[in-house]
Structure 1
Amino acid sequence: MLDPHRLRVFRAVVGSGSVQAAADNLGLTSSAVSQHLSALARETGLVLFQRQGRGITPTAAGLELAAQSEEAMSQWGRLDAVVGDLREGRSGRLTVGYFSSAGSAWMPELVKSLTAQLPDLTVDLVLTEVTGRNVTPDIDIVIDPPDGGGRPGYRHVPLASDPFVAVVPVEHELASFRAVSLADLRGQTWVSNDLIGSLGHRIVVSTCAAAGFTPRFAVQAQEHHSAIQFVAAGVGISVMPRLAARALPREVTRLRITEPTPMRHISALVRETGRPNPAAEHLLEMLLDLNTHPSRRGRPVAG
């Protein structure tokens, strides 16, 4: 089994670019760092570095080990934190997954309230919509796929329906309307606010297909913050979930979409462990209450 401390030293050398820099960063001697590198090379049976001038540079195998060990080291760090919690008498830790618009709209106030009520609780927040994250959250706030929102080992709890809205410049010809049909946006220049092929993007494109057209994306912004700025600059319009369009600059306004309305459904997945998790259940109650009474948190989503 690989030694986590040696991996940490190895990653420090790869990240800093030299043995001496890693030693300075870690508070070790350069000799100790070199010994850890030699021991790790023996453990793995890999050539991790090669000479380059007076220094060293990672080999292809070394770079791959550094990249692949990132998540493992993150999980090891989480285990270290659990040990620290136990040693210092803190009662528990809650890992919460979320996607970006729910994170900005809901999580700050929810976590503030939760930790005020449970001061010994440590909350880890993980952006689980980012691909490649290997985490097991206690609660994961997710967008339900069209074929259902289940996940093995988790209880599925619906939270809200989040309609998509049109975000347009305030000087746009449609800006004076409170609502537009999706067909009204047919000939517009569109700005994407999600990754192509992602669930949100597929919802928009499939609903447009149902309305008889395919949107023309001139800009692939791929996330809503940048997309809103492109709209503010007058580059085009964007169709995004209302939750993502809560806070808009004065150059931009949002319009309801009708006939048909793109819609996404948001749920909480609660991990079933066979033992009580009071913190997870309490956060779930707060999420349900928030979406039953959306006026309590600005204008998140309608339940």
Structure 2
Amino acid sequence: MLDPVKLRVLRSVAATGSIRASAEALGYTPSAVSQQLSALRRETGVDLVERSGRGIEITPAGAEIARAAGTALDALDDVQRLAANLRDGRSGTLTFAYMTSVAATWVPRLAQDVREAFPDLSLTLLHRDCSVSELDLRGDVLIADDIDAEPGTDWQLCDLLEESYVALVPSSHPLASRESVALADLAEIPWATDDPLDSTWFARILSACHAAGFTPRVEVNPPDYSAVLGFIASGGFVSVQPSLLEQNPPPGVVVLPLRSPAPRRSLQVWVRRSSAKNPAVQFMVQRLWAIAAEHAERIPGITLLGEPPQYAAAPPRAPSGATAG
């Protein structure tokens, strides 16, 4: 394989028509440029330059090789830039996996922040279904709670917060006028939930209900949360959901704190170890912790866990006015 350094010298000589000018442009001495040209002539077996008066002149064969070398060297430069961008988190692809309870509040903000800071990054957003079959922990960064599978050696964890659960009741129901309710207050009312009834998510709620002395009467189990809200607003159903999920209830739905004893859960950010040093990943973790802190300040029943992540260097940000990639 021909040496790229020698090819760069040839391309410079072809462009300037002068060994001295090429030496100045490349930061070499004229003798070093001449040596590189001589070595390249031996490697190719082709006369690349010839004497012309006191200077040199590129030969037709040398000019043709210089043109071809230019295309190859530009491609090599592109590869080097790509490697540097991947190293610094400025390009490539990352996948962030999220759960329903942060889908409408955290994810849009995070995606916008990441795309502004890393406009060349391709960010894939992956919704994590709450069925057991989806516990395959895909992605580079994901939000998980304390009943997810063990992370193993492929992942490192950053604690975010612990949150309470809340009751969602129809605004027309007598319970809606209370400041809070106990789980037992919901025992005789039909329930609606989007959690699969055999999932570990619903098992947490079910266990708390059993401790309160009853089994919830789940009559509606749609696959999506918006349908749950519709059934509650109709006046005949209640639900128990994480407090992060419903802070701005639609008309017809009232959110009430659950009095203790009631279920709680903690959330973590899981980072794939192979991606942990990527500046874009570190930026995502920092932003997630900051967003969690904001929610802990304004939502009752949420407590921050651990300390904000610290990294040696701040992730690079795009220049002001950069558009999302």
Fold equivalence (TM over 0.5): yes
1:170 is matched with 171
Give TM-score scaled by structure 1 length: 0.65
Superposed displacement of residue 128, structure 1: 2.9
- 8 A Cα contact 2:164 2:301, kept in partner: no
Moved more, 116-125 or 286-295: 286-295
Superposed displacement of residue 301, structure 1: 5.2
Cα distance, 1:229–1:202 mapped onto 2, change above 3 Å: same
Residues 153-182 of structure 1: per-residue CA shift (max 9 Å, x gap): 100111112211110111111101111111
Cα distance, 1:298–1:119 mapped onto 2, change above 3 Å: farther
2:207 is aligned with 1:211: no
- 8 A Cα contact 2:165 2:258, kept in partner: yes
Cα distance, 1:210–1:283 mapped onto 2, change above 3 Å: same
Aligned-partner Cα distance in 1 for 2:109–2:301: 12
> Percent identical across equivalent pairs?
30
Superposed displacement of residue 266, structure 1: 1.1
2:140 is matched with 138
Q: For residue 155 of structure 1, what is the amino acid of its counterpart?
A: Q
Aligned-partner Cα distance in 1 for 2:117–2:294: 20
Query: Mapping of 1:95-106 within 5 angstroms?
Result: 95-106=95-106
2:181 is matched with 180
Give TM-score scaled by structure 2 length: 0.61
Paired residue secondary structure (1:293)? helix
Paired residue secondary structure (1:175)? helix
Residues 30-71 of structure 1: per-residue CA shift (max 9 Å, x gap): xxxxxxxxxxxxxxxxxxxxxxxxxxxxxxxxxxxxxxxxxx
Q: For residue 201 of structure 2, what is the amino acid of its counterpart?
A: G
List structure 1 segments (4+ residues) > 4 angstroms apart after TM superposition. Answer: 132-135, 295-302
1:71 is matched with none
Cα distance, 1:300–1:229 mapped onto 2, change above 3 Å: farther
Paired residue secondary structure (1:273)? helix
Cα distance, 1:86–1:128 mapped onto 2, change above 3 Å: farther
Superposed displacement of residue 194, structure 1: 0.9
Superposed displacement of residue 115, structure 1: 1.0
Aligned-partner Cα distance in 2 for 1:164–1:275: 31
Query: Mapping of 1:210-229 within 5 angstroms?
Result: 210-229=211-230
Superposed displacement of residue 136, structure 1: 3.7
Aligned-partner Cα distance in 2 for 1:275–1:239: 35
Aligned-partner Cα distance in 2 for 1:275–1:156: 10
When Rg is computed on C-alpha atoms for both structures, the one with the higher figure is 2
Structure 2: gaps of 5 or more residues: 1-78, 305-325
Structure 1: gaps of 5 or more residues: 1-82
Q: For residue 196 of structure 1, what is the amino acid of its counterpart?
A: L
2:248 is matched with 247
Aligned-partner Cα distance in 2 for 1:106–1:210: 32
Aligned-partner Cα distance in 1 for 2:169–2:180: 12
